Chains A and B, each alone.
Chain A
Amino acid sequence: MNPETSKPPAAGSGIQETATTPGSVPGLQAEADLLKAGALQSAIFNSANFSSIATDAKGVIQIFNVGAERMLGYAAADVMNKITPADISDPRELIARAEALSVELGTPITPGFEALVFKASRGIEDIYELTYIRKDGSRFPAVVSVTALRDDQNAIIGYLLIGTDNTARKQIEEDRKTLDQHLRDQQFYTRSLLEASIDALMTTDPRGIITDVNQQMEALTACTRDELIGSPVKTYFTDPARAEESIKRVLSEKKITNYELTARARDGRETVVSYNATTFYDRDRKLQGVFAAARDITDRKKTEEALLALKNDLENRVQQRTAELEAANKELEAFSYSVSHDLRAPLRAIDGFSRKVVVGYGDKLDDEGRRQLQVVRDNAQKMGNLIDDLLAFSHIGRREIALQSLDMDAMVKGVADELRAAESQRAIEFAFSPLPRAPGDAAMLRQVWVNLLGNAVKFSRQRKLAHIEIGGSEEGGEVQYWVKDDGAGFDMRYADKLFGVFQRLHRQDEFEGTGVGLAIAQRILHRHNGRIWGEGKPDGGATFRFALPLPAPDDHLSQGRTS
């Protein structure tokens, strides 16, 4: 608006009847001004979107335009010369406004119309929000601009209140407030999530520049959040190239997991971390950066290293023990070779030369001399047998076991036939019941049967007709076999000596033998993870049982495999 025309005409144009004093407007300029003022006036008063309310100096409404009528629901006639704008304003707001102005301006102001126009009356431009009350009692927020209308002497003759309905703006403001609150809530939530993590978390932009961190990240690096944000992530690791590589890999593969890095704090402290990271995007799927979590795995690392050290130590020890065992085995082999070879030679000489004496000089000896030479020869022979059995016993421990499914029926009958042939002068009745198959080393298990059946035959030789029963059954994941005779038996008090090397429960002149047979049988069964035991009573026969473990049902490979 033209500042030249705005003041005096505005003062005049505010009031249709009283303010227009034609005599006071000089010449043509005044005419034009009036014309202009008239146009302006009608534009203002006919605006439907602005409420224009003019009052006299006391506040009584003189003009109530179309906009006011529309907004407030009153017809101009309802209010003109009847009420003041204070009567259609929220009274509590008026009280509050009066109090505030009283304090602000240091003068008591009454909570009525004065409160609405006091500032304007002092020439202060006043625009404020207030709540208008419609005719139907409903309320709406309005922004009101208040101007004092003055006459030529600058005396206040009235006020003009131009208002707009502020409902829409208010709503937008409310919405924004709600949105802002929501945003703050979201931020708080996100931040809480970040801070609640036990891992050090950070986000970086696609170049690897840190954009956010949590407190754990600050602790990990001994740097503050402000120091961290904006710096390249790689600088906080002992191997920057590898750290940078990790970002590149995330970008190309979208994520990486369990990437091990060592973080180095400002104070030099190093922490081994397992690093998991993914890329993240905005709603338009535009890459925003990398979200990374670094978990402290120092303890796990230490445990792993300790375990590794333990494992290596154990391996070393096993190697050492194996070497020791191998050495011991070699020594044992050398020893048994020596026994086998060197101990027999002198025995052969003793026997051979005793015989030579008998053959060459027999006629010069009497019966007693020949008997004594025979004792020499018998003992040489016995020692030979002891050496052979001892060697056989030590062989069991060294031989490899070739497991296969054994046809025990055929094996036992074969052994029994041989024994019968060797003892053809004896009457022996073998009773076989069907035997289950079992996994074992054929040669070794045959030896067990030979020794057990051999004993049964030997110790039953005082019977006119000896009875030997052989049986077997499968139970509880193992197969048991037994050999029962009706021979000399043994005293159970000495049962613990049955399986000892060179241990015998019978005198040599009753039953010959070296006392190695059952020890060999037991050793063979132990090598098969089996067991053997015996029961008997003097002159009441003996029963020997042995058990072989069956392979687990799903262990198909254990049969026919060398162990």
Chain B
Amino acid sequence: MNANDQELQILLVEDNPADAELTMDALRESGLVNTVQWVKDGVEALDVLFGHGATSAAESHRLRLILLDLRLPRVDGVEVLRAVRADQRTRRLPVVVLTSSREESDLVRAYDLGANSYLVKPVESEEFMKAVGELGLYWMLLNKLPGEAK
């Protein structure tokens, strides 16, 4: 889906529509709205990343960041992360885990699999807006990927 979206720069993997909407609100408020693609589970995420041959996100180099929830229906976030790190085309792609879980085991597993950052979604909405907005700005604007540092 949306294979023709040339603007695709952030992949948001989030099964909760309310969280997805609030996340996109926060990114929009930071001025990053046009670059987000939202998928609702791990299967869709893998499909967007690797499923369309030459037109896949991995192939087209149109992706700068994955915002990944951990608990997802069907294929969960951990599996998506593993697949991303296992693939030559995406193994350096920044992945920020965005989750409700504060479980130590989830943190350890995420970092062991190569997550770049781990953010616990704040319940308080102002904090949430601030955290996600800053996160978007940092990874999309400040952070440099290989080949961008000049």
A residues sitting closer than 8 Å to B (CB atoms) are 337, 340-342, 344-349, 351-356, 377, 380-381, 384, 388, 391
When distances are taken between beta carbons in the complex, the residues of chain A under 8 Å from B71 are 341
C-alpha spacing A391/B103, complex, angstroms: 10
Specify the main secondary structure of chain A where it touches its partner: helix
Given contacts A340-B102, A391-B102, contact A345 B18 (CB under 8 A): yes
Given contacts A348-B18, A348-B22, contact A355 B126 (CB under 8 A): yes
B residues sitting closer than 8 Å to A (CB atoms) are 16, 18-19, 22, 25, 71, 99-103, 121-126, 128-129
- Shortest distance from the beta carbon of A291 to any chain B beta carbon, whole Å: 69
Our count of residue pairs bridging A and B at CB distance below 8 angstroms stands at 59
Known contacts A352-B18, A377-B125, A381-B124; 4 further A-B pairs (Cβ under 8 A): A340-B103, A341-B71, A344-B100, A351-B124
When distances are taken between beta carbons in the complex, the residues of chain B under 8 Å from A341 are 71, 99-101
Nearest B-chain residue to A338, judged by Cβ: B71
11 A-B pairs with CB atoms under 8 Å apart are: A337-B103, A341-B101, A344-B100, A345-B19, A347-B123, A348-B128, A349-B18, A351-B123, A352-B22, A377-B125, A381-B123
Closest 5 CB pairs of A and B: A384-B123, A349-B18, A355-B125, A352-B22, A352-B125
The one of A337, A340, A348, A384 that contacts B19, using a Cβ cutoff of 8 Å: A348
Contact B25 A344 (CB under 8 A): no
Contact A342 B125 (CB under 8 A): no
C-alpha spacing A351/B126, complex, angstroms: 9
When distances are taken between beta carbons in the complex, the residues of chain B under 8 Å from A353 are 18, 22
Given contacts A352-B128, A355-B125, contact A345 B101 (CB under 8 A): no
- Shortest distance from the beta carbon of A296 to any chain B beta carbon, whole Å: 60
C-alpha spacing A380/B126, complex, angstroms: 13
Contact B100 A340 (CB under 8 A): yes
Highest count of chain A CB atoms <10 Å: which of B18, B125, B129: B125
- Shortest distance from the beta carbon of B55 to any chain A beta carbon, whole Å: 33
Contact A380 B123 (CB under 8 A): yes
Contact A348 B123 (CB under 8 A): yes
C-alpha spacing A265/B4, complex, angstroms: 98
Contact B100 A349 (CB under 8 A): no
C-alpha spacing A384/B123, complex, angstroms: 6
When distances are taken between beta carbons in the complex, the residues of chain A under 8 Å from B22 are 348-349, 352-353, 356
Contact B124 A349 (CB under 8 A): no
The one of B16, B18, B103, B124 that contacts A384, using a Cβ cutoff of 8 Å: B124
Contact A348 B121 (CB under 8 A): yes
C-alpha spacing A518/B12, complex, angstroms: 40
Contact B125 A344 (CB under 8 A): no
